[in-house]
Amino acid sequence: MSDIITDRLNIRRFVEADAAELFDYISNPRVNCFVDDKVTTLEQAKVKARKRAKDEACLAVCLKETGTLIGELLLHKDGRYQPDTYSVGWNFNEKVEGKGYARESAHALFDHLFTQLGARRLYAYVEDDNLKSQKLCEKLGMRKEACFIEFISFVNNPDGTPKYENTFQYAILKKEWRLTDT
């Protein structure tokens, strides 16, 4: 895939040299769904960067002006019966929050998926306490389709039992995309 360029961002495949900037945000996961991706050393971040570099489903989002890696977008193609469906996700460095970078990059990714990669439906899972991600889904024109109660467990409760989270599913179809494009 060639890079996706927006006004302020360059969206590209990861490279090993991203390790330090990757470390900066995956060493401190802000939501439970990224706890498994946590690293504590730069060496571990290098391993993660190398893995991401081979992974078409994970894209680096960088500032065009400086080249700094500020976060990532995830795009997983679904299986045999939904070959035109992708699940999407995002994880950004808290230091660049509130500047519209997540929206700008996700908007460009949606456009790319719908117009270049033949996507028909995109969906995202968002936990019910993740208001920022819900807001982002809504700004991208996604519909809240469902709430799955005690759907998933990423972490344990203090007593060692699984902490189950309620999860919203948001989605958008290609035929809805241009209608909601802002």
Ligand X SMILES: CC(C)(COP(=O)(O)OP(=O)(O)OC[C@H]1O[C@@H](n2cnc3c(N)ncnc32)[C@H](O)[C@@H]1OP(=O)(O)O)[C@@H](O)C(=O)NCCC(=O)NCCS
Closest approach, Cβ 138 to ligand X, in A, equals 10
**Of the candidates 146, 141, 58, 132, the residue with the CA atom closest to the CA atom of residue 101:** 132
Q: Which residues contact 135 (CB under 8 A, 6 or more apart)?
A: none
**Strand pairing report for 162-173 and 143-156:** antiparallel
| Among residues 126, 142, 171, 172, the one that binds ligand X under rule CB under 6 A | 126
Cβ distance to ligand X smaller for residue 81 or 132:
132
The strand pair at 121-127 and 85-92 is best described as parallel
What number of other Cβ atoms are within 10 A of residue 161's Cβ? 9
Binding track over 87-106 against ligand X, x by CB under 6 A: --xxxx----xxxxxxx---
Q: How many residues bind ligand X (CB under 6 A)?
A: 20
- Residue in this structure with the two tokens 């946590």, named with its chain if needed: 38
> Which CB atom, from 91 or from 113, has the smaller least distance to ligand X?
91
Q: Is residue 10 within 8 Å of residue 132, measured between CB atoms?
A: no
> C-beta of 159: minimal distance to ligand X in Å?
26
Residue of this chain nearest to ligand X (CB atom) = 100
Q: What is the CA radius of gyration of the chain?
A: 16
Site for ligand X in 46-85 (CB under 6 A): none
Tokens 């080249």 — which residue?
67
The amino acid occupying position 173 is L
**Of 111, 124, 76, 68, which Cα lies nearest the Cα of 92?**
68
**Residue 127 C-beta: closest distance to ligand X, Å:** 6
Among positions 108, 136, 142, 171, the unique one binding ligand X when judged by CB under 6 A: 136
Q: Which is nearer to ligand X, 147 or 175 (CB)?
A: 147
Selected binder of ligand X within 46, 49, 86, 133 (CB under 6 A): 133
Footprint on residues 21-50 left by ligand X (CB under 6 A): 30-31, 33
Binding site for ligand X (CB under 6 A): 30-31, 33, 89-92, 97-103, 126, 130, 132-133, 136, 139
